[in-house]
Chains A and B, each alone.
Chain A
Amino acid sequence: DVKVTQSSRYLVKRTGEKVFLECVQDMDHENMFWYRQDPGLGLRLIYFSYDVKMKEKGDIPEGYSVSREKKERFSLILESASTNQTSMYLCASSFSWEKLFFGSGTQLSVL
């Protein structure tokens, strides 16, 4: 089975801190995604990557950046965390665009 691993299940940070969320997949997938999940809003795409060092903005990229130096790893970076970035962050990977494999999420609280 495909395994998508997110480095932390819960994370608490202070306003203004730089935050790194890490995601690793073990199935050699080309595509990787970062979503945030908020009650009543569902999942919103932040960034995705279809190859190493390639990235594309999703629907809500403001305040975030990403890094993909190796195929298996896709990092989400909050340059200066703010309280409105408190959310559940979900990483996903896929071989085709038809089926995404998700990690179990990181619940980030920014105080």
Chain B
Amino acid sequence: GDSVTQMEGPVTLSEEAFLTINCTYTATGYPSLFWYVQYPGEGLQLLLKATKADDKGSNKGFEATYRKETTSFHLEKGSVQVSDSAVYFCALRADSSASKIIFGSGTRLSIRP
């Protein structure tokens, strides 16, 4: 079945470091891919998305490129801030007829000042 695998955390970085959180997927159709973020004490919110191969989603300095050949959607940011500390979830919607979004297990990110 369709699934999302993302790197286990926690990930701890110093402020201004480069961030990569890996995400790979398995899907039978042509999925849409998402990154959601959950700040402490809050619900998840959509960070960025990409709906077809080679699309790049971006928001708040974060980027992810939909790589069909490697079935990946890695999240990157060039210089992280303390305020980026959160749990990040990779997710997919299998195709345009799918009625649900499948989430990965989440990666906790902590940024040291």
Contact = CB atoms under 8 A, between A and B. Distances in A.
Q: How large is the interface on A (under 10, 10 to 19, 20 to 34, 35 or more residues)?
A: 20 to 34
Contact of A90 (B4, B43, B51, B98): B43
Interface in B55-113: 89, 93, 98-106
27 contacts: A4-B43, A42-B4, A42-B89, A42-B103, A42-B104, A42-B106, A43-B106, A45-B100, A45-B102, A48-B99, A48-B100, A90-B43, A90-B44, A92-B43, A92-B44, A97-B93, A97-B98, A98-B34, A98-B51, A98-B93, A99-B46, A100-B44, A100-B46, A100-B101, A102-B43, A103-B43, A104-B42
Contacts, number: 53
Interface in A40-77: 40-45, 48, 50, 56, 58
